[in-house]
Structure 1
Amino acid sequence: MAITLTPVALQRVQRFVAETPGALGLRFGVTRTGCSGWGHVADLARERRDGDTVFEQDGISIFVDADSLALVDGTEIDFGKQGLSETFLFRNPNATAECGCGESFTTETDLA
């Protein structure tokens, strides 16, 4: 069980955490959204919540809530250009399909 950051994503998160007073690390999970059902959510973590699983990578804590964990376990987070903007990119082995715009995904459980 793990969430990992590529070297580029790690550098970006380290910079965000260093520049944000009170930031503890990265909060990563999912929310219901889009045409496929689930959307990845990444933000700075400012607190540890009950039920969080915390992954550590090179001094960065990645907080994942209990409801999201099964849907994002094994995800590699990258950072790069997508179109004209820079954004986090998610390689989630649990995603079995994505909507046409790539904003949301489904899992095998959703298709059952």
Structure 2
Amino acid sequence: MIHITDSALNAVQSAITGSSEPVDGLRIMVEAGGCAGYQYKMGLVKEASPDDTVVERGGVKVFIDNSSHELLAGTTIDYVVAIQGSGFTFDNPNAQSSCSCGKSFG
């Protein structure tokens, strides 16, 4: 299971509220790529896919596809506001290495 901080939850809720299209939730997945081997992908979606695991917190649905589920198990997703830039961060206990930007892992 993944964990979503209050800050990340608020950022997703704001994005859903501000969307011009109907949105059912946030899709998070892992794809091959990035400088460390795997990269995180996320975006708002209209509906879940049939093979998604659905995590709901505070009325926000997060969809995780089955192929990413194992790589994301135990991950904490946060939203950080900083001078250098704001964005989502991933604290993934399955990552053996990561790149300096924090968006990919191996």
Partner of 1:54 in structure 2? 54
Distance 2:101 2:56 in 1: 31
| Aligned partner of residue 7 in structure 2, secondary structure | helix
Distance 2:76 2:12 in 1: 14
Partner of 2:3 in structure 1? 4
TM-score normalised to the size of structure 1?
0.85
Is 1:19 matched up with 2:41?
Answer: no
Gaps of 5+ in 1: 107-112
Distance 1:75 1:38 in 2: 14
Which structure shows the higher strand fraction?
A: 1
The alpha carbon displacement at 1:26 in A equals 1.0
The alpha carbon displacement at 1:74 in A equals 1.2
- Would the alpha carbon gap of residues 68 and 101 (structure 1) be closer, same or farther in structure 2, given more than 3 Å must change? same
Q: Which moved more, 1:77-86 or 1:57-66?
A: 77-86
TM-score normalised to the size of structure 2?
0.89
Identity over aligned pairs, percent: 37
Q: How is 1:1-112 mapped onto 2 (pairs within 5 angstroms)?
A: 2-20=1-19, 21-81=21-81, 84-106=84-106
Aligned-residue Cα RMSD (Å) equals 1.5
User: Is this contact kept in 1: 2:38–2:105, CA < 8 A?
Assistant: yes
User: Is this contact kept in 2: 1:4–1:57, CA < 8 A?
Assistant: no
The alpha carbon displacement at 1:35 in A equals 2.5
| Aligned partner of residue 47 in structure 2, secondary structure | coil
Gaps of 5+ in 2: none
Distance 1:56 1:62 in 2: 6
Distance 1:105 1:76 in 2: 14
Distance 2:85 2:64 in 1: 25
The alpha carbon displacement at 1:83 in A equals 5.9
Task: Give the number of aligned pairs.
Answer: 105
User: Which 4+ stretches in 1 moved above 3 angstroms?
Assistant: 100-103
